[in-house]
Chains A and B, each alone.
Chain A
Amino acid sequence: MHSDVLTIGDRTFQSRLLLGTGKFASNDIMRQSIEASNTEVVTVALRRVDLDAPQDDMLNHINGDSILLLPNTAGARDADEAVRLARFARNAGCPSWVKLEVTPDPRYLLPDPLETYKAAKVLIADGFHVLPYINADPVLCKHLEELGCATVMPLGSPIGSNKGIKTRENLRIIIEQAQVPVVVDAGLGAPSHAAEAMEMGADAVLVNTAIAVARHPVAMARAFAKATEAGREAFLAGLGGSSDIANASSPLKGLMWE
């Protein structure tokens, strides 16, 4: 049987659900949620990690053998800050992977396309696998792809909003055109949103708030894992098209009445 794996850069993954680690009520709940989600990629805000202290709680709760620890540059307002953070993380022993976040706006945390592009260019030349968090801009996606980014990570709606996929038309174009994996990141507030993204043909989804702030985060992580798988399976199975008029289930049967 053909195995359906996700390939990013030089690595392959069985799971198509990536997890963020902010907002959890405790590191223990975060660890249990990671396990329940079956994720193989966990992103960690470098500003939350004490790289000088190897005993840092948050990193201790993530199994680096089976999970790709993906440092992110959350908090960076421009390309220089993002590049500094990424390089520092690598020098401290983190892998040469980075989820590139450049968000000068502290309220909605919307990504800056110009600074993101500049940082991606520098980091790729520096040997990083760069996974940029961006607005759902199809043209920017093509530019980043041409630069050599490992993925593109367009948002479904503003980060932490749980509003689901509000950028559907642009996401559709991005997915249609992309030559690198498309990871829908930010705004996915319910398992059905993850399923929707996967049904559209996204290669993966990244979720944080919806799981971390759920009443039962571990159960919600499990639900997102199932929804991501279901959406992927539906996409591979080939969804039927929709129509505004009723269609007979057997067209020939209809013809016989004419």
Chain B
Amino acid sequence: MYSEVFPSIDQNELMSVIEEVGSRDVQVALQKDQLDIKDFAALISPAADPYIEEIANKAHQLTVQRFGRTILMYAPLYVSNYCTNGCRYCGFNHQNLMERHLLSHGQALDDAAVIASEGFRHLLLVSGEDPRYVDEQYLGELAVKLKGRFSSIGVEVQPLEESGYRHLSECGVDSLTIYQETYNTELYSEVHPSGKKRDFNYRLDTPERGALGGMRKVGLGVLLGLGNVSLDACNLALHARYIMQNYWRTQVSVSFPRLRAAEGGFQPYDPVSDRTLLKLICAFRLYTVDAVLVLSTRESAQFRDAVFPCGITQMSAGSKTNPGGYSSQDDTLEQFHVEDSRSVAHVAAAIREQGYEAVWKDWDPLLV
């Protein structure tokens, strides 16, 4: 498991690599087909700035060749904001005095009906991390009810045991998203003062438990702005490649969530600029050529339209980040504020205007 591999990565040495890359390393990385972690570090470094157009062009070409001019559309469905964790950066932090809500299956189906009516066939079930409210039984039963309406169902919930993922797989769930948030163990402890999430290694091994439990796609990510962005990105890249090499039947996706203002007033430690985020997307495309790269509505419409051709293959639209948000139109319980508030149709039109096809179905429940 990766928790046994991770300690062997000397973080100081990795930081030295990051600090020492220069212009020549960027040029070398651009010439290579198979990049190593030094190449990746070079592409996200300040030394890459003068080459950003060249890097973006290469990322674009690779993406078109591998995925075509298509963007897979998905929507998140928040089923609960109950959480047992005390994450300092998250609106769902159990200490935040906010109204908590758990959707009954009926209420979740109401939200799902709105999502389906907008054309989505790929759904991501999201919740805070409180197994007293949302556990594998709740999710499994809901997935069975949703199966007829959606062709792909993913989960972004608290880490489960392998048996939990196997149960969800049998109920029709095909993918798992789990963010490590940061690979800096000290910072991880600091920002996760309470709750089961304090167990760094348990979270680190979650993608593998998912893969072993039958999840076809596992999504990884760090919270951009929490830790040192270069170091976290390099660790994320290494983790992604480890999964690809050790679980050859599993597809890997990488998301790029930038920290946003949330209930509790947390401010990002290391804010990530638009330019840095663009470099990250391009670097992941070049380093993990076949990974699905995901961009959510956390980002502004202007930014999303500008950067998605540089490597993104999956996007959400019209997202609500609060339980019941689609059918009740009440945004007060949201986990974070979405920046791209355009309608689903508007986002799809913007994708088409750039010569891409918005793909609504690229999976079939018969495959699960």
Number of CB contacts from chain A to chain B under 8 A:
78
Q: Interface stretch among A1-9, A80-88, A124-132, A135-143? A: A80-88
Chain A hits for B216, CB < 8 A: 77, 106
Which partner residue on chain B sits nearest A210 by CB separation? B65
Decide: B66 and A160 in contact? CB cutoff 8 A: yes
Chain B hits for A67, CB < 8 A: none
B6 touches A (CB below 8 Å): no
A66 touches B (CB below 8 Å): no
Decide: A81 and B69 in contact? CB cutoff 8 A: no
Q: Which of A23, A26, A46, A88 contacts B67 (CB 8 A)?
A: A23
Contact with B along A179-215 (1 / 0, CB 8 A): 0000000000000000000000000000001001100
Chain B hits for A49, CB < 8 A: 361
Chain A hits for B65, CB < 8 A: 160-162, 209, 213
Q: Which of B249, B357, B364 contacts A24 (CB 8 A)?
A: B357
Decide: A209 and B68 in contact? CB cutoff 8 A: yes
Chain A hits for B107, CB < 8 A: none
CA gap between A27 and B359 in the complex, in Å: 11
Chain B contact residues (Cβ within 8 angstroms of A): what range? 20 to 34
A113 touches B (CB below 8 Å): no
Decide: B352 and A106 in contact? CB cutoff 8 A: no
Chain B hits for A24, CB < 8 A: 68-70, 357
Contact with B along A37-52 (1 / 0, CB 8 A): 0000000011111100
- By the criterion of a CB under 8 Å from any partner CB, how many residues of chain A are at the interface? 30
Decide: A81 and B355 in contact? CB cutoff 8 A: no
Decide: A25 and B361 in contact? CB cutoff 8 A: no
A75 touches B (CB below 8 Å): yes
Decide: B68 and A85 in contact? CB cutoff 8 A: no
B250 touches A (CB below 8 Å): yes
Decide: B290 and A106 in contact? CB cutoff 8 A: yes
Q: By CB atoms of chain A within 10 A, which of B249, B250, B364 has the most?
A: B364
CA gap between A92 and B226 in the complex, in Å: 50
CA gap between A88 and B367 in the complex, in Å: 11
Decide: B367 and A85 in contact? CB cutoff 8 A: yes
A105 touches B (CB below 8 Å): yes
CA gap between A105 and B247 in the complex, in Å: 9
Which partner residue on chain A sits nearest B361 by CB separation? A50
Decide: A106 and B361 in contact? CB cutoff 8 A: no
- CB-CB contacts below 8 Å: A22-72 with B: 22-27, 45-50
Decide: A47 and B68 in contact? CB cutoff 8 A: no
Q: With A75-B367, A104-B249, A106-B251 as known contacts, state yes or no: A23 contacts B361, CB within 8 Å.
A: no
Decide: A48 and B361 in contact? CB cutoff 8 A: yes
Decide: A48 and B121 in contact? CB cutoff 8 A: no
Decide: B367 and A81 in contact? CB cutoff 8 A: yes
B64 touches A (CB below 8 Å): yes
Which partner residue on chain A sits nearest B66 by CB separation? A160
Decide: B357 and A75 in contact? CB cutoff 8 A: no
Decide: A47 and B362 in contact? CB cutoff 8 A: yes
Which partner residue on chain B sits nearest A56 by CB separation? B361
CA gap between A141 and B347 in the complex, in Å: 46
Chain A hits for B359, CB < 8 A: 48
A76 touches B (CB below 8 Å): yes
B5 touches A (CB below 8 Å): no
B2 touches A (CB below 8 Å): no
Q: Which of A25, A76, A162, A213 contacts B357 (CB 8 A)?
A: A25
A11 touches B (CB below 8 Å): no
Q: With A23-B68, A24-B69, A213-B68 as known contacts, state yes or no: A47 contacts B357, CB within 8 Å.
A: no
Which partner residue on chain B sits nearest A75 by CB separation? B367
Chain B hits for A76, CB < 8 A: 367
Decide: A75 and B363 in contact? CB cutoff 8 A: yes
Decide: A26 and B357 in contact? CB cutoff 8 A: yes
Decide: A213 and B69 in contact? CB cutoff 8 A: yes
Which partner residue on chain B sits nearest A28 by CB separation? B357
B344 touches A (CB below 8 Å): no
Decide: A47 and B249 in contact? CB cutoff 8 A: no
Which partner residue on chain B sits nearest A25 by CB separation? B69
Q: With A27-B357, A104-B249 as known contacts, state yes or no: A84 contacts B366, CB within 8 Å.
A: yes
Q: Which of B121, B352, B367 contacts A26 (CB 8 A)?
A: B352
Which partner residue on chain A sits nearest B288 by CB separation? A107
Which partner residue on chain A sits nearest B359 by CB separation? A48
Contact with A along B46-74 (1 / 0, CB 8 A): 00000000000000000011111110000
Minimum Cβ distance to chain B for residue A178 (Å):
30
Which partner residue on chain A sits nearest B290 by CB separation? A107
- CB-CB contacts below 8 Å: A105-162 with B: 105-108, 160-162
Q: By CB atoms of chain B within 10 A, which of A27, A47, A50, A75 has the most?
A: A47
Minimum Cβ distance to chain B for residue A221 (Å):
15
Pairs A–B under 8 Å by Cβ, sample size 22: A22-B68, A23-B68, A24-B68, A24-B69, A25-B355, A25-B356, A25-B357, A47-B151, A48-B359, A81-B367, A85-B364, A85-B366, A88-B366, A104-B248, A104-B249, A105-B248, A105-B249, A108-B290, A160-B66, A161-B65, A213-B64, A213-B69
User: Measuring CB to CB, which residues of chain A are less than 8 angstroms from any residue of chain B?
Assistant: 22-27, 45-50, 75-77, 81, 84-85, 88, 104-108, 160-162, 209, 212-213
Closest CB pairs A-B (n = 6): A23-B68, A25-B69, A106-B251, A107-B290, A47-B364, A84-B366
Q: A27-B357, A162-B65 are known; give 15 further A-B pairs, CB within 8 A.
A: A23-B69, A23-B70, A25-B355, A25-B356, A25-B357, A26-B352, A26-B357, A48-B359, A49-B361, A77-B216, A77-B249, A85-B364, A106-B216, A106-B217, A160-B65
